[in-house]
């Protein structure tokens, strides 16, 4: 089988995380790097010496004209995702795009329609769909072991305010939003994916903590069918990473605590830990910026 030829668009910190995974796949290869930052390109060449001769481009259109590729990975400021994704799809490439997809639902619908029209895969990097603990929770819910879902509480804390200070992530024009839009979108994604519930109304309190973008957010959600939920994203925390999700149903509760799962079934039953052997995949460490 021929190798899948990847075009890397954006090769900073997260871009290099993708590169690290691709170079370990025997059926994949990187055929070009696209990034206007000479520093980022130099860092890739230093960290991955075997890519020292790979073609480098400052502008995406130049790369699309000059290089034969099968797929693109887009790891750029969020405001650029739509234009770059559309260009890659029109060039016949499959696209893996880092979260949080594109800016606004109108652009989301347009790019999905384009991907369907050109018959190419379009995937957003919400990797929790493949992680053991979340797959276990998904299985519990789909099998009806928790009964009808009545309440979901999701919490995420990260030193995002200080960790991204001075970067494009706190520039609203480039990022299209702050912590809720960035790392926090993982939390929103996994709640909706796990429960398959549709939000009916949302009430939010948000504090920018003196920046252009949201840093701390407290959301209350009413879902269709009557279930309720809260999502709390703390970007001004002092800790590197913490994530909690609690799901309460008519038959039981499932508690995810930053990599560990506790299950309670039946009335007044204690919450007991679940071993890794019970999960579809081994537990993995949550990502950081």
Asked if residues 148 and 274 have their Cβ atoms less than 8 Å apart, the reply is no
What residues contact residue 65 under an 8 Å CB cut-off, 6+ apart?
none
> Strand 94-97 relative to strand 28-34: parallel, antiparallel, unpaired?
unpaired
Does the domain at residues 128-278 carry the CATH identifier 3.30.360.10? yes
Q: How far apart are CA 270 and CA 75, in angstroms?
A: 43
Strand partners of residue 222: 201, 228
Give pLDDT, residue 279.
56
Does the domain at residues 4-125 carry the CATH identifier 3.40.50.720? yes
Closest residue by Cα to residue 77 from 164, 155, 159: 164
Asked if residues 194 and 138 have their Cβ atoms less than 8 Å apart, the reply is yes
Strand partners of residue 30: 6
Closest residue by Cα to residue 88 from 54, 56, 60, 59: 60
For 47-68, what is each residue's pLDDT tens digit?
Answer: 999 999 999 999 999 999 999 9
Asked if residues 288 and 240 have their Cβ atoms less than 8 Å apart, the reply is yes
Q: What is the mean pLDDT of residues 137-152?
A: 95
For 257-271, what is each residue's pLDDT tens digit?
Answer: 998 999 999 888 888
Asked if residues 258 and 133 have their Cβ atoms less than 8 Å apart, the reply is no
Q: Do domains 4-125 and 128-278 have the same CATH topology?
A: no
Name the percent of the chain lying above pLDDT 90.
Answer: 88
Q: State yes or no: pLDDT of 1 exceeds 70.
A: no
For 127-140, what is each residue's pLDDT tens digit?
Answer: 899 888 999 999 99
Convert 248-260 into a string of H (helix), E (strand) and C (coil): EECCEEEEEECCE
> Strand 55-57 relative to strand 28-34: parallel, antiparallel, unpaired?
parallel
Where are the domains positioned within the chain? 4-125, 128-278
Q: State yes or no: pLDDT of 282 exceeds 80.
A: no
Q: State yes or no: pLDDT of 289 exceeds 50.
A: no
Closest residue by Cα to residue 152 from 246, 217, 218: 246
Asked if residues 233 and 187 have their Cβ atoms less than 8 Å apart, the reply is yes
pLDDT band at 283; cut points 50, 70, 90: very low
Q: How far apart are CA 75 and CA 97, in angstroms?
A: 7
Total Cβ atoms within 10 A of residue 4: 15
Give pLDDT, residue 288.
34
For 196-210, what is each residue's pLDDT tens digit?
Answer: 999 999 999 999 999
This prediction has a pTM of: 0.86
């Amino acid at each position: 089988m021929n190798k899948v030829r990847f075009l890397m668009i954006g090769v900073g910190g997260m871009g290099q995380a993708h590169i690290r995974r691709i170079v370990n796949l025997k059926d994949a290869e990187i055929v070009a790097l696209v990034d206007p930052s000479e520093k980022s390109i130099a860092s890739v060449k230093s960290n991955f010496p075997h890519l020292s001769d790979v073609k480098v481009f400052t502008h995406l259109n130049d790369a699309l004209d000059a290089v034969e590729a099968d797929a693109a990975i887009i790891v750029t400021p969020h405001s650029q995702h739509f234009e770059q994704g559309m260009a890659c799809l029109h060039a016949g490439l499959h696209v893996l795009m880092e979260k949080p997809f594109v800016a606004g639902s109108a652009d989301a619908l347009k790019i999905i329609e384009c991907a369907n029209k050109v018959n190419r895969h379009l995937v957003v990097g919400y990797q929790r769909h493949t992680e053991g603990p979340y797959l276990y929770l998904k299985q519990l819910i789909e099998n009806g072991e928790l009964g009808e879902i009545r309440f979901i509480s999701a919490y995420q804390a990260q030193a995002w305010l200080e960790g991204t200070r001075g970067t494009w992530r706190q520039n609203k024009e480039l990022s299209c939003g702050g912590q809720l839009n960035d790392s926090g979108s993982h939390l929103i994604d996994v709640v909706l994916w796990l429960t398959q519930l549709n939000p009916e109304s949302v009430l939010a309190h948000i504090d920018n903590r003196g920046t252009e973008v949201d840093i701390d957010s407290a959301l209350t959600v009413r879902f269709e069918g009557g279930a309720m939920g809260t999502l709390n994203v703390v970007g001004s925390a002092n800790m590197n990473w913490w994530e909690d999700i609690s799901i309460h149903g008519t038959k039981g509760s499932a508690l995810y605590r930053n990599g560990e799962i506790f299950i309670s079934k039946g009335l007044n039953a204690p919450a007991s830990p679940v071993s890794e052997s019970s999960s579809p995949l081994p537990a993995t460490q949550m990502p950081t910026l």
